[in-house]
Homo-oligomer: A and B are copies of this chain.
Amino acid sequence: MGRRIKIKKIVETTRRQVTFSKRRTCLLKKVKEIAICCDVDVLFVAFSSANRLSKFCSQRRIEDMLQRYIELPIERRLTYMN
| CB atoms of B31 and A59 under 8 A apart | no
Q: How many residues of A contact B (CB 8 A)?
A: 57
Q: 1/0 contact trace for A14-53 toward B, CB 8 Å?
A: 0011011001101110111111111111111111111011
Q: How would you classify the secondary structure of chain A's contact residues: helix, strand, loop or mixed?
A: mixed
| CB atoms of A37 and B10 under 8 A apart | yes
Q: List 19 A-B contacts (CB under 8 A).
A: A7-B36, A9-B38, A10-B38, A16-B37, A16-B38, A17-B38, A19-B38, A20-B38, A26-B30, A27-B30, A30-B30, A31-B44, A32-B82, A38-B48, A39-B49, A41-B47, A43-B43, A43-B44, A57-B80
Given contacts A39-B49, A54-B77, A81-B58, contact A23 B33 (CB under 8 A): yes
